[in-house]
Amino acid sequence: MTELSVNLNKIALLRNARGHDAPNVVEFAKKFITLGVKGITIHPRPDERHITRQDAHDLGDLIRPLDGIELNIEGYPSEDFLQLIEAVRPDQTTLVPDLPGQLTSDHGFDFHTQGAFLAPILSRLKNSGTRISIFLDPDLAQVRLAAQSQADRIELYTEAYADTFNRPNRQDIYQQYHEAAALAVNLGLGVNAGHDLNLDNLPRFVTIPGIQEVSIGHALVVECLELGINTVVRQYLAICQQGH
């Protein structure tokens, strides 16, 4: 079974558009958890254009006492981000190579050029007790290098899968993810995935063995607007239950 982690960035973005506290990020986290979601993901950016540092603390306070519910904080490992992780102590920290001001994540880490940069960061995070996941393209060489680091998991960046889902080369791209996940598992890494997954393309993706968690935000929020939160979450959980 694959676990679903709901990314709350778009909930926070909507809240920030009016400068008030509606919709409330913590209350929406509670709604998703009540509906059966086992994970909440946030990606606080330096400009706090959606999730804020205070949101991270508030969600940490909410989730920390809950059995079987995990908080995943994503972000670029700047000093401010690392201090936030050390203060909140989420269950999982996902390192993403985003530049400041970047609209959204668009590539994974490159261990060939960034491995030396990541090594002391991974050691530092290990001391905080968080599980460490590295955002990664479905590249076998990168998977091998990630397995040699102190990372516990990788998160496969799934935009290529989503973009080709209705194209003739969909099987070739799917196979890349299948092989990357299989190699990661064989090398002792856990495997997460995320970016542009939705109700249409997720069922095929979770047929890949070894996918432990998918993080979904933008598409899920759009689908909730169209179909209602109860219906959408129920459908996602049913898909995830079919995962290997």
Is 50 known as a binding-site position? yes
- Cα dihedral 125, 100, 113, 134, rounded to 10, equals 40
Phi and psi angles of residue 3, each rounded to the nearest 5 degrees, phi first: -85, 150
Is 64 known as a binding-site position? no
Phi and psi angles of residue 50, each rounded to the nearest 5 degrees, phi first: -135, -90
Mapping DSSP onto H, E and C, the string for 146-185 reads HHCCCCCEEEEECHHHHHCCCCCCHHHHHHHHHHHHHHHH
Which pair of tokens denotes residue 30?
A: 């509670």
Is 196 known as a binding-site position? yes
Active site residue ranges = 43, 74, 195
For residue 213, list its beta bridge partners.
3, 192
Is 18 known as a binding-site position? yes
Which pair of tokens denotes residue 104?
A: 């959204």
Q: Answer for the pair 39, 31: CB distance below 8 angstroms, yes or no.
A: no
Phi-psi region of 3 (alpha: psi -120 to 50; beta: other; left: phi over 0): beta
**Rounded to whole angstroms, how far apart are CA atoms 100 and 98?**
7
Is 170 known as a binding-site position? no
Is 228 known as a binding-site position? no
Distances (CA, A) of 162 to 10, 23, 128, 197: 19, 28, 34, 6
Is 218 known as a binding-site position? yes
The annotation places the binding site for 3-amino-2-oxopropyl phosphate at 7, 18, 196, 217-218
The annotation places the binding site for 1-deoxy-D-xylulose 5-phosphate at 45, 50, 104
